[in-house]
């Protein structure tokens, strides 16, 4: 009976991952959310008997360890797969470059928060659940990342915006690589993937209209111009997640430390 912990499951892609995994009664899923009381969309999966909702913020390492203990009490101390979906991207600052902030203090605050949640949050999440994963049979860690943190693509696009988000996602990719190197001898599969542009408006406060800004349109155009035949249209969240889960099941230790581009995810036939 495979067991999964989904970190950042209160909305969007993380929530849809929980929902789709829960349709298989053989799975045991731990949906880790920052605040149960203020996660209105989590009710859509709460009725599944194989879903256990745990509360922990990724910036609170103590709470994550408590959540891991709760999960261990249900599985007998094991976990097969950890999916890290938690992320931070403030619409107000989303498109800004490193010289676009009103003050150095504002720049420091935004970059620090992005790093704390997007990179350090993954470290705390993985560390908390790693003792369980070591006792599991599948031993997989999947981190949801973004091409915004890809150095080669950033240079190819000549894109200076999305600085805080991009820097923190680049750090997240290195976090993934460090764990892949550390856990290789233990048979782990550790990888990152970019799900690509996804319409999460039905289960997220970050609705499509907020992403439909001139800055985002410029980003999408540059992205399309830099990658031949790239589809940057919004994919429905259920379709994105179907493809993500197919890739998750397919990859093994030989794929560890890899970053799977969104074009690979989108090309998967379902």
| Of the candidates 254, 140, 142, 143, the residue with the CA atom closest to the CA atom of residue 188 | 140
Q: Are 163 and 98 in contact (CB under 8 A)?
A: yes
Indicate the SS3 state at residue 77. coil
Indicate the SS3 state at residue 230. coil
Residue 41 annotated in active site: no
- Active-site residue, selected from the candidate residues 139, 169, 178, 242: 169
Distance between CA atoms of 140 and 188, rounded to whole angstroms?
Answer: 6
Confidence of residue 127 (pLDDT cuts 50, 70, 90): very high
User: Is the per-residue pLDDT at 209 higher than 60?
Assistant: no
CATH of residue 19's domain is: 3.40.50.720
Q: Are 153 and 226 in contact (CB under 8 A)?
A: yes
Distance between CA atoms of 60 and 193, rounded to whole angstroms?
Answer: 24
Cα 66 to Cα 69, 111, 131, 265: the distances in Å are 5, 28, 13, 33
Token pair, residue 57, equals 């913020």
Q: How many domains does the chain have?
A: 1
Enclosing H/E stretch for 31: strand 28-33
Residue 13's domain comprises 3-267
Indicate the SS3 state at residue 193. strand
Distance between CA atoms of 84 and 140, rounded to whole angstroms?
Answer: 11
> What's the mean pLDDT in 190-202?
84
pTM: 0.91
- Active-site residue, selected from the candidate residues 4, 41, 165, 179: 165
> What's the mean pLDDT in 226-244?
81
User: What crossing angle do the helices spanning 237-250 and 12-22 adopt, rounded to 10°?
Assistant: 70
Query: Mind listing the pLDDT tens digit for each residue in 128-183?
Result: 999 999 999 999 999 999 988 888 888 888 888 889 999 999 999 999 999 999 99
Q: Are 146 and 193 in contact (CB under 8 A)?
A: no
Tell me what pLDDT residue 75 has: 98
Residue 101 annotated in active site: no
Tell me what pLDDT residue 227 has: 63
């Amino acid at each position: 009976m495979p067991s999964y912990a989904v970190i950042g499951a209160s909305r969007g892609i993380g929530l849809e991952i929980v929902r789709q995994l829960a349709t298989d009664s053989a799975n045991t899923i731990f949906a880790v959310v920052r605040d149960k009381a203020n996660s209105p969309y989590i009710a859509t999966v709460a009725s599944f008997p194989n879903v256990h909702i745990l509360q922990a913020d990724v910036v609170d390492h103590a709470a994550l360890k408590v959540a891991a203990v709760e999960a261990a009490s249900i599985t007998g101390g094991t976990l097969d797969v950890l999916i890290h979906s938690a992320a931070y991207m403030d619409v107000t600052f989303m498109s800004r470059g490193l010289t676009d902030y009103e003050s150095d203090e504002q720049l420091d605050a935004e970059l620090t928060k992005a790093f704390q949640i997007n990179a350090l949050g993954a470290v705390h999440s993985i560390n908390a659940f790693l003792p369980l994963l070591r006792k599991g049979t599948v031993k997989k860690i999947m981190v949801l990342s973004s091409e915004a943190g890809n150095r080669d693509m950033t240079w190819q696009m000549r894109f200076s915006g999305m600085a805080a988000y991009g820097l923190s996602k680049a750090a997240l990719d290195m976090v993934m690589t460090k764990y892949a190197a550390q856990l290789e001898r233990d048979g782990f599969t550790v990888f990152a993937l970019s799900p690509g542009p996804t319409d999460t408006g039905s289960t997220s406060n970050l609705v499509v209209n907020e992403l439909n800004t001139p800055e985002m349109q410029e980003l999408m155009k540059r992205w399309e111009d830099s990658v031949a035949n790239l589809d940057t249209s919004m994919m429905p969240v259920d379709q994105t997640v179907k493809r993500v889960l197919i890739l998750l099941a397919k990859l093994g230790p030989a794929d560890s430390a890899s970053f799977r581009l969104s074009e690979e995810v989108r090309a998967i036939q379902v």
